[in-house]
């Protein structure tokens, strides 16, 4: 006979996850952008590399109007996202918008393929190369449609010398060139774009117990956990740690029943409540802080967060959300964080939110502070490109988790584990 009872609040369920050695986490895929003038074979190149018709090809200039994305596996790298863009020589007001959209994709790329043909390498191509150099994006120069017009050897030699790279001569009518081009792409793509970096592996080791606090409110997605929680959970499993998940209302009971706990990772919006429950000798941080540290801009956030104290009446604060979602009365970026800022500073602030990678409505210099979410749906390159204008202009930047920790008086505590610990796995 099997005895069963109804589960109640505070009950702890232990679920065993089998860990398959060699399995990679659900890392965000590296992005490879294809750029060039209209009718230079960008869409044909996407189809050529992917091996199927995913982009519309036509002799009509300007067929591609919005970026087209397609995921494909590359041996030795894994899945990557190919981005087919509109021509950078488009015309008219709408054409200018298409060009701007293509250049936005350049900022998001981990690698750029710059196409040119007809033995023309002029201002448009130079602009793309300079854009890559400015953003530290590796690139490959590809002479396309070589079957239609052979490249001039003197031009190729000049480009090779000027840019320190060998131009790849291509015709998509030759399938034998697909593997050499793929190998060239594999070589040029930086490892940082696809090599998995552990979120907590340097501070959490085998056998450690980590409690994850995940509030469930109207802003929580139906029937599932949000991506930062999933990413941290997977990382803990990869590092052979024991993960215990609970809501903030069951945290006190959970801590009493699971025994020794090394770390508590909480959703930022319940930081204040959780910090009062978690003993001082237990490390505490948030999902947003964990992701901020992994994305490479942590030092900028740490420097910019204390400038919250300098905000004055009438200052504008920009909330940058990586994802797009339905706004609710419990939305952290549009509701809770602005209310906390107003309460903490006692100032009348103008808080504006921009979702996804949409363009800003005003110059970034109009803002006294930029606060970025954890960036769980962005690659490190995309996040860096998103915040680069603010950082370059000297506008302070912060992060949801660090800003909330600062205003709750636990700024240093939220970073303590990363300053004090390093474990050998």
**What CATH number corresponds to the domain at position 158?**
3.40.50.300
pLDDT at residue 329, rounded to an integer: 47
Look at 63-72, 159-168, 304-313 and tell me which has the smallest mean pLDDT.
Answer: 63-72
pLDDT at residue 382, rounded to an integer: 79
At 398, list the tokens.
């912060």
Distance CA 303, CA 106 (A): 28
Distance CA 205, CA 147 (A): 57
Last residue of a domain, one of 169, 193, 217: 193
Confidence tier at 143 by pLDDT (50, 70, 90): very high
In a domain, 1, yes or no: no
Q: Any alpha helices (H) in 314-361, and if so which ranges? A: 337-345
pLDDT at residue 377, rounded to an integer: 74
| Average of per-residue pLDDT across 156-163 | 94
Q: Are residues 179 and 225 in the same domain?
A: no
Distance CA 291, CA 319 (A): 17
In a domain, 200, yes or no: no
Q: Is residue 26 pLDDT above 50, yes or no?
A: no
| pTM flag (> 0.85) | no
The pLDDT tens digits for 373-388 are 888 777 777 788 889 9
In a domain, 81, yes or no: yes
Burial of 342 (0-12, 13-18, 19+ CB in 10 A): middle
The pLDDT tens digits for 303-338 are 999 999 999 999 999 999 876 555 454 677 888 899
Q: Is residue 5 pLDDT above 50, yes or no?
A: no
Q: Is residue 12 pLDDT above 70, yes or no?
A: no
Distance CA 402, CA 302 (A): 8
Question: What's the total number of domains in the chain?
Answer: 3
Q: Are residues 42 and 189 in the same domain?
A: yes
Q: Three-state SS string across 118-183, please?
A: CCCCCHHHHHHHHHHHHHCCCEEEEECCCCCCCCCHHHHHHHHHHHCCCCEECCCCCHHHHHHHHH
Instruction: Tell me the residue range of the domain where 56 lies.
Output: 31-193
At 183, list the tokens.
């190998």
In a domain, 3, yes or no: no
């Amino acid at each position: 006979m099997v005895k069963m009872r109804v589960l109640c609040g505070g009950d702890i369920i232990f679920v065993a996850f089998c860990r398959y050695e060699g399995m990679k986490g659900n890392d965000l895929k590296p992005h490879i952008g294809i750029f060039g003038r209209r009718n230079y074979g960008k869409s044909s190149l996407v189809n050529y590399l992917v091996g199927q018709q995913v982009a519309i090809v036509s002799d009509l200039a300007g067929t591609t109007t919005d970026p087209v994305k397609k995921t494909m596996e590359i041996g030795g790298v894994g899945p990557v996202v190919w981005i087919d863009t509109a021509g950078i020589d488009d015309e008219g007001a709408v054409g200018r918008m298409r060009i701007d959209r293509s250049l936005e994709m350049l900022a998001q790329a981990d690698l750029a393929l710059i196409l040119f043909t007809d033995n023309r390498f002029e201002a448009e191509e130079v602009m793309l190369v300079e854009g890559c150099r400015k953003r530290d994006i590796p690139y490959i120069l590809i002479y396309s449609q070589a079957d239609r017009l052979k490249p001039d050897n003197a031009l190729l030699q000049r480009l090779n010398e000027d840019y320190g790279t060998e131009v790849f001569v291509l015709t998509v009518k030759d399938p034998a060139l697909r593997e050499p081009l793929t190998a060239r792409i594999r070589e040029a793509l930086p490892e940082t774009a696809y090599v998995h970096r552990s979120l907590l592996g340097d501070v959490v080791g085998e056998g450690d117990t980590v409690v994850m606090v995940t509030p469930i409110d109207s802003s929580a997605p139906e029937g599932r956990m949000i991506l930062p929680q999933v990413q941290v959970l997977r990382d803990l499993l990869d590092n052979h740690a024991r993960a215990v998940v609970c809501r903030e209302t069951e945290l006190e009971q959970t801590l009493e029943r699971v025994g020794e706990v090394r770390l508590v990772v909480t959703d930022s919006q319940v930081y204040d409540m959780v910090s009062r429950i978690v003993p001082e000798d237990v490390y505490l941080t948030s999902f947003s802080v964990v992701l901020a540290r992994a994305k490479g801009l942590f030092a900028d956030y740490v420097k910019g967060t204390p400038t919250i104290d300098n905000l004055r009446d009438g200052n504008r604060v920009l909330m940058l959300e990586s994802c797009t979602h339905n706004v609710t009365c419990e939305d952290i970026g549009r509701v809770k964080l602005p209310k906390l800022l107003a309460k903490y500073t006692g100032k009348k602030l103008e808080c504006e939110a921009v979702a996804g990678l949409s363009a800003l409505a005003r110059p970034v210099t109009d803002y006294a502070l930029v606060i970025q979410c954890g960036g769980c749906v962005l690659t490190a390159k995309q996040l860096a490109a998103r915040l680069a204008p603010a950082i370059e202009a000297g506008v302070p930047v912060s992060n949801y988790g660090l800003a909330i920790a600062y205003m709750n008086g636990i700024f240093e505590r939220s970073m303590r584990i990363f300053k004090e610990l390093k474990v050998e796995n």
